[in-house]
Chains A and B, each alone.
Chain A
Amino acid sequence: GENVEQHPSTLSVQEGDSAVIKCTYSDSASNYFPWYKQELGKGPQLIIDIRSNVGEKKDQRIAVTLNKTAKHFSLHITETQPEDSAVYFCAAHDYKLSFGAGTTVTVRA
């Protein structure tokens, strides 16, 4: 089955700097890659997603890139703000969603 690895497990950035989270996947059949943000005690919230026929997608300060050849995809957050502090999960979808272990992002004011 699909195996998703996510790095780093924790990330601390200064407010205004960029944050980058990277994920790799194992199943070349995976064709859909969502990213979720989870705040403490809440359910994950979809923040951006990308399908395999697209290499990059942007939504304001958030962008996702996909390299199908290398089987990795990344989340980029620019101009980080304190409200960006949360746990972020990547996922890859072949016949079901497989999640990475999560990255705890802390934005220092």
Chain B
Amino acid sequence: DGGITQSPKYLFRKEGQNVTLSCEQNLNHDAMYWYRQDPGQGLRLIYYSQIVNDFQKGDIAEGYSVSREKKESFPLTVTSAQKNPTAFYLCASSMGGPDSGTDTQYFGPGTRLTVL
């Protein structure tokens, strides 16, 4: 089965703790993205990566960190510096990055993070 997987589906965190969300894809896509979705709002870009070992900040990167050590994997760490981390987090991938003409993004099922 080809696609994007995110784990866990639900995650609970105590205030002050860092937590890492997993995103894996077997589509052989070069580019990967992390978005945050809040109730009644559209998706906002946190970070994106067009190639292994390279990534760029999106619109709301503060309090988050990422790594891209493998093409298939793009984990997101929500740090204690993120002031309001409770949200639905979505990972996406595309064959190419922006301006490539192959930038159609496909999304994973999401991780719902709740800070207790």
Interface residues on A, range: 20 to 34
Q: With A43-B90, A101-B40, A102-B40 known to touch, is A96 a contact of B107 (CB < 8 Å)?
A: no
A45 to B109, CA, bound (A): 9
In the complex, A44 has a CB within 8 A of chain B? yes
Question: For chains A and B in complex, what number of residue pairs have CB atoms within 8 angstroms?
Answer: 49
In the complex, B104 has a CB within 8 A of chain A? yes
In the complex, A84 has a CB within 8 A of chain B? no
B interface footprint on A84-104 (CB within 8 Å = 1, 0 otherwise): 000001000101110111100
Q: With A95-B98, A96-B98 known to touch, is A102 a contact of B42 (CB < 8 Å)?
A: yes
Q: From DSSP, what is the main secondary structure of chain B's interface residues?
A: loop
Residue contact B109 to A43, C-beta cutoff 8 Å = yes
A97 to B40, CA, bound (A): 18
A96 to B46, CA, bound (A): 11
State which residues 6-28 of A face B: CB under 8 Å: 6
Q: Which of B6, B90, B107 has the most CB of A within 10 A?
A: B107
A89 to B44, CA, bound (A): 12
State which residues 33-91 of A face B: CB under 8 Å: 34, 36, 41-46, 49, 89
Query: Interface of B with A (CB < 8 Å)?
Result: 4, 6, 40-45, 48, 58-59, 90, 98-99, 103-110, 112
